[in-house]
Structures are given as structure tokens and as C-alpha cells.
A and B are shown apart, each in its own frame.
Chain A
Amino acid sequence: MPIITVVTRDGTGRAVDMEVGATLMEGLRDHGFDEVLAMCGGCCSCATCHVYVEPASPPLEDEDDLLAGAAHRRDNSRLSCQIILSADHDGLRVAIPPED
């Protein structure tokens, strides 16, 4: 299972073991990272599950359009609901953006 490091708003990091097949948004929620609001529940209809990921990966088209409206967008921004976790995500670093 991929080990993912999550850095919260206060700058502290924690490595957690996430489940393959779940979305990164679900992984964050299930491991208690409640700074991610995820208001639409993961159907790519809002941008409230915005995260920064390292290494960066390109967003999908709809996701990119939603991210364009996010206040703290960066080059490595993604919507965590659109990342389906696989073994390849082992070592991913995720940071939670500042509050809008």
C-alpha cells in the first residue's frame, strides 16, 4: 500500500499508509486530516479538496478548470478527489493549501 506524507497547515508532516483504489481525498479524510473540506463528496464539482502534490502530476480538464478558481493555486495543485491511489503513489508528498 502506498505510504504518503501529508503536511498540514501548521507545517507538521505525518506519513500514512493509504488504501489502493480509494481516492486521495478519501485517504485524507479516513486518516483524520480534517482541514480538507471536500464539500461535494468527491464528484469534481467544487474545489474544496485542493492539495499540492510532489511529484507534480497534471490535472484533468474539468479539474484544471475548477483549480483555476482556487485562491492558492500552484503548479503542483490537484483536486485530491481526482487522484485514485495506486502502488505508484508510494512516496507521494501532499500539502494542504492555506485556508481560502
Chain B
Amino acid sequence: MHYDILIVGSGHGGAQAAITLRQRGYTGSIAIIGDEPDLPYERPPLSKDYLSGAKPFERILIRPPAFWETRDITLLRGRRVVVVDPVAHAVTTGDGAVVGYGQLIWAAGGHARRLDCAGGGLAGIHTVRTRADADAMRAELPAVEQAVVIGGGYVGLEAAAVLRAAGKRVVLLEQQDRVLARVAGETLSRFYEGEHRAQGVDMRLGARVDGFIGDGRSVTGVRLADGELIPAQMVVVGIGLVPAVAPLLAAGAMGGDGVMVDAHGRTSLPDIHAIGDCALHPNAYAGGRHIRLESVQNATDMAVTVAKALTGAAEPYRAVPWFWSNQYDLRLQTVGLSAGHDAAVLRGDPAARSFAIVYFRAGRVVALDCVNATRDYTQGRALVEAGWHGDPALVADTTVPLKDLAARSSH
């Protein structure tokens, strides 16, 4: 087997790379090789509408089944790449098959991080990364009275919201002293903490897990470091992602927590590119630092960047980061990157459940978190793109539309 362009990973990034290549008239052979049995599907609904049963699987397919045939994109499903040989221009899969390539696009994403502690192998302990994960949870749900969610990031909070809506008692354990500590400022953390508590989630901050207990087969509870035992028939672990880059690093690619790429998605190995969750890329909105972003936006836009480069239209990656999360009736929309901010201004009233937080770094707007405030999200994007600087007090004044501020930038 040999393909002119071989894409490893069938998530958002891998699928979009193939779609864009064909859109741009690429006529060489294309294959997507992925370790899951399914056609490419959207992952965000796994912790939202798919988990709740509101959307069937067919509605979260990235493209209908016939699409891949009509575009002559080969899908090699249920196969994991374990070795990359950059000299021979070939990969080897777990079942020993060798697949040659002209250009390789590594879009393998990552694996949900697991909790490495006593009892971690019991049934009933779940991560939320794949359709199989969500299906397993849904199958067990009817027998669940109380679930423990470990991790107060977006995946954990979304899962908690769905479990509450399904009528389950939910205990959420977060090791830090606030939820969303890794991705948002304190104001947003406290808001979501309060919302989940109001919805009946038993929120435990500063909670350390010691291990799981079970009946020999399935989990029956979670033991905390202080000795408390929390009964649970289901545990959801949402503590982040481990980038799937081992075969690339073993082949000599630069990287560590992800594989290092340049502004065109090129790794340090010839004819090998990387995109999405696993790609440590220079990001203009992080001051040009190499970062990893785990988001649909980043996977999709990096896919377009690499597909363009491979079809003769190379442009450096400069897409504005954006992200969303739906919990209960709250629509969170984020634009920019708040990491490293040195000031945060509240715009609107959290008690009214509609507000924005505008983040500044060195006097410039770098990000907004908007809750039920789509107008500020849309208009705030221009401030982030422009690196708007001016009096933060202006941003707090909700009588002034953010779009009017863009014109008032002090240069």
C-alpha cells in the first residue's frame, strides 16, 4: 500500500485535511488511517448531546458515508500506527502492515489521561474521548444512582451537567482550589462552581483521589486522600490528554509534550507534518510561543494550513483561537488565549447569567470568556485580533458596545 498523502488520525484535523485537499483540487491518492472503527465524527458532542442521547451517531458524523467514496479518500479504520520510518517514507501499523507515503500528516490527537492509582482498572471508570467511551457510559447509566466526576475542566463539567440532567447524583472532585484553573481566570471558575452547585452537583475542591474500590469487577466508590469514601456506580475521569506522538518522537522528531512543528505545520522530519491537539506549534496569540491547543478550531484550521501548503499555497498559521462549551442553559464562547494574563475586567453581571470577562496582558486585550453574551464574543474578537490597548475601564462599561472600542484604540 502506498498513498501520495497519508493522514494518521481520523478526528477533526485528519478529516478536514483530506476534505480541504480535495476541495483545492488535489488529485493524488489520499488515505486516512485511524485506530477507531467509525467514520470521522465530531468529538465535542461526546460530552454533550451525544452523551445525553439528544443526537444519534449519524448526526455527529463529520461527513456522510458516501462522501469519502465520492471524493476517493480511502479510510483505513481500526488500525493504529506504531512505527514511522521517515527514510523509507512508510509507517507500520499494529497488525504489521506497512503503508508507504509521499507526504505524511500526523493528526493522531491524543489519549485521555488515566488516573494511575489503586483500582484504576475496575469497570465503570470512564474517560470521554471516543464514541466507544460515550457508548459505554450510556449503556451503564440506567444502573447508576451516583456518579463521581474527577476533574473540573470543560469535559468534566460538561459530563457533570449531562449526568445531572439525567437525574443522577453527581460528586465532582477537583484537585485544585477552583474549577477551570488551567484555562480561565478566577471569576469564570467561581461562576461555574456556583452554577453547578445550584444544579445540585456536590462540588469538592482541593480533593485528592487516593484510589478506587470495587466489588472485584466494577467500581463501587472513590477513596479520597483524607480517607473519605464516596460511593459511586460510575466514575468519569476528565483530567486532560496525552498527545499521541510516540512513534514520531521515536523516529527522531523534535518534541516532548507534543511534536514540534513550524508555522506551516512541518515537523523536523522530512515530508512529515503535524496538526491539531498533538502539534506544538508557534501561536501568534501566545506571543509566538510553541503551544498545544486542544480544540476543534485549532485542529480544523491547522488542517487547512497544511492542506494549502501541500497544494502550493503556503501561508503561516495565524488563526484566532476560539472555543465553546455548553453546560445546562449556559453558552460559553471564548476567543483568544487568556493564559498569562495580568488583568481581567468583568463586563456585565454574573448574577444575570450574561457577562464577559476581558483578559489583558501588558495592557492589550488577549482573550474574552463570554457567557450567554454572543454579541461581546463576536465584537471582542476584533479587539483580540488587533491587540487592542486602552483604558480597561472602557471595557467594563456595558453601555459601550465593544465594536465601538475598536475604533478608539490608542496607538
Asked whether any CB of chain B lies closer than 8 Å to the CB of A45, the reply is yes
Whether A32 lies near B70 (C-beta < 8 A) is yes
Whether A68 lies near B296 (C-beta < 8 A) is no
Q: Which chain B positions have C-beta within 8 A of A34? A: 19, 22-23, 63, 67
Q: Which chain B positions have C-beta within 8 A of A29? A: 63-64
Asked whether any CB of chain B lies closer than 8 Å to the CB of A40, the reply is yes
B12 closest partner in A (C-beta): A39
Q: Across chains A and B, which 9 residue pairs bring their CB atoms closest together, nearest first? A: A69-B378, A45-B324, A65-B374, A65-B375, A41-B42, A62-B374, A30-B64, A68-B378, A65-B378
A37 closest partner in B (C-beta): B300
A9 closest partner in B (C-beta): B23
Query: Considering only CB atoms and an 8 Å cut-off, how many residues of chain B contact the other chain?
Result: 30
Q: Which of B26-48 contact A (CB under 8 A)?
A: 42, 44-45, 48
Q: How far is the CA of A32 from the CA of B62 in the complex (A)?
A: 11
Q: How far is the CA of A37 from the CA of B63 in the complex (A)?
A: 11
Asked whether any CB of chain B lies closer than 8 Å to the CB of A92, the reply is no
Whether B59 lies near A40 (C-beta < 8 A) is no
Whether A39 lies near B64 (C-beta < 8 A) is no
Asked whether any CB of chain A lies closer than 8 Å to the CB of B333, the reply is yes
Q: How far is the CA of A26 from the CA of B60 in the complex (A)?
A: 9
Q: Which of A28-85 contact B (CB under 8 A)?
A: 29-30, 32, 34-35, 37, 39-41, 43-47, 62, 65-66, 68-69
Q: Which chain B positions have C-beta within 8 A of A66? A: 374, 377-378
A interface footprint on B261-278 (CB within 8 Å = 1, 0 otherwise)? 000000000000000000
| CB < 8 Å neighbour of A46 from B22, B324, B382 | B324
B interface footprint on A2-40 (CB within 8 Å = 1, 0 otherwise)? 000000000000000000000000100110101101011
Beyond A43-B324, A43-B326, A65-B377: 8 further Cβ-contacts under 8 Å? Answer: A34-B19, A34-B22, A34-B23, A34-B63, A43-B49, A65-B378, A68-B375, A69-B378
Q: Which chain A positions have C-beta within 8 A of B63? A: 29, 34
* Most chain A CB neighbours (cut-off 10 Å) among B70, B333, B379: B333
Q: Which of B296-323 contact A (CB under 8 A)?
A: 296-297, 300, 322
A45-B331, A62-B374, A68-B375 given; A26·B59 CB < 8 A: yes
A62-B374, A69-B378 given; A39·B331 CB < 8 A: no
Whether B23 lies near A39 (C-beta < 8 A) is no
Whether A41 lies near B44 (C-beta < 8 A) is yes
Q: How far is the CA of A66 from the CA of B59 in the complex (A)?
A: 23
Q: Which chain A positions have C-beta within 8 A of B44? A: 40-41, 43
B333 closest partner in A (C-beta): A45
Asked whether any CB of chain A lies closer than 8 Å to the CB of B129, the reply is no
Whether A46 lies near B23 (C-beta < 8 A) is no
| CB < 8 Å neighbour of B297 from A39, A43, A47 | A39
Whether A41 lies near B374 (C-beta < 8 A) is no
Q: How far is the CB of B296 from chain A (nearest CB, A)?
A: 6
A35 closest partner in B (C-beta): B23
Q: Which of B311-353 contact A (CB under 8 A)?
A: 322, 324, 326, 331, 333
| CB < 8 Å neighbour of B67 from A32, A39, A43 | A32
Q: How far is the CB of A90 from chain B (nearest CB, A)?
A: 22
Can you list 20 residue pairs at the A/B interface with Cβ under 8 Å? A26-B59, A29-B63, A30-B64, A32-B70, A34-B19, A34-B22, A34-B23, A34-B67, A39-B297, A40-B44, A41-B44, A44-B331, A45-B333, A46-B324, A66-B377, A66-B378, A68-B375, A68-B378, A68-B379, A69-B379
Whether B378 lies near A41 (C-beta < 8 A) is no
Q: How far is the CB of B363 from chain A (nearest CB, A)?
A: 24
Asked whether any CB of chain A lies closer than 8 Å to the CB of B381, the reply is yes
Q: How far is the CB of A14 from chain B (nearest CB, A)?
A: 14
